[in-house]
Amino acid sequence: MTMGTPVSRIPTGVADFDSIIKGGLPIGSTVLLLGDLGAGQVEFSYTSASKLALVKEHPESTTYFLGHAAKEGLIPQKICYITFSRSREDILQEIKVSFNSDFYEAFERNVIFKDFSGIYFRKTLVPKSWGGDASSIFLPPNEDNVLEALVNFMDENAPNSLVIIDSLTDLAVSANIEITDLVQVLRGMTRIAKQWNGIVYLILTRDIVDERKQRMIMDSVDGALVFEWSKFAMSSKRQRYLYVEKFMSILPHLDKERIARFATVVTSESGLVVIDTERVG
């Protein structure tokens, strides 16, 4: 039996994870990063963006920053970071105090920010001066709806890019956005992403919406990486873990290795890294 055509992949920047999933995530994927508060989903996205930005600037450093498994991986032409309630300055400050200067500077130079907070807060009690929209009284017609504005931005910027959407939590809890509309946009995004040939990360805090809505969101994307805290037995210490909840093209590799989940830590020098694998049986 002949094997299918190899699928091009974009490295996640988490080298030990990439080595097991054959170099990264398949291009054209929409990937839900679902996690407990502080469990690593945001740090995962920062790590990916920072390391890919460093490799864009220094292609000779691919193996050093991304690992041997990523040698054949594709590096996105653009890296975009979308927010709805947080500012560019907020994100950059968080990275500056969390990671080393190389990560921070590469992120600052290479990442394209899009802040939709002006539209997101427009129909709320939040003053325009708080929502970053103090200078504009009227928005263009196509900028009145945050989902429409998101779609327009994605059409223009997502091809051949890594796009991080921070976060679906903001959209899922908004009183101005119907969950059915959000899910339809995600389904459409998942369909068109196959033509974009990039990767879209969608950050969502676990249990922030009810289980039915969370399942609807998970069902609308290609893959779901789950980040969780777990306590050690007879101890107050906690450990971060990452596992793959859904991903047709990745789960067979994990099943073959009998890997249930990955223990992770976040360091200032390397971002989010895998320190151990927990195997079944």
CA distance 11 to 56: 12
Is the pLDDT confidence value at 258 over 80?
yes
Separation between Cα atoms, residue 22 and residue 69, nearest integer Å: 7
Q: DSSP of 8-76, one letter per residue?
A: PEE--S-HHHHHHTTTSEETTEEEEEEESTTSSHHHHHHHHHHHHHHHHH-GGGHHHHH-GGGTTPPPP
Q: Backbone phi, then psi, for 20, in 5-degree steps?
A: -85, -30
pLDDT of residue 136: 43
At 161, which helix (H) or strand (E)? strand 161-166
Model confidence pLDDT, tens digit, residues 214-243 = 999 999 999 999 999 987 666 678 899 999
87 vs 138, higher pLDDT: 87
Measure CA 194 to chain center.
17
Question: What is the C-alpha end-to-end distance of the chain, expressed in Å?
Answer: 30
Report residue 110's pLDDT band, with 50, 70 and 90 as the boundaries: very high
| Eight-state DSSP code of residue 173 | T
C-alpha 273, offset from chain centre: 15
Answer whether residue 129 shows pLDDT above 90. no
**Element housing 222 (H / E):** none
pLDDT of residue 235: 63
Closest to 13 measured CA to CA, from 147, 133, 107: 107
Q: Are 45 and 164 in contact (CB under 8 A)?
A: yes
d(CA 269, CA 84): 28
The pLDDT, as a whole number, for residue 2 is 45
Decide if 13 contacts 53 (C-beta within 8 A): no
Query: What pTM does this model have?
Result: 0.92
Amino acid at 161: S
What residue ranges define each of the domains in the chain, with the CATH number in brackets?
9-279 (3.40.50.300)
Q: Cα(34)–Cα(206) distance, rounded to whole angstroms?
A: 6
**Mean pLDDT estimate for the chain:** 90
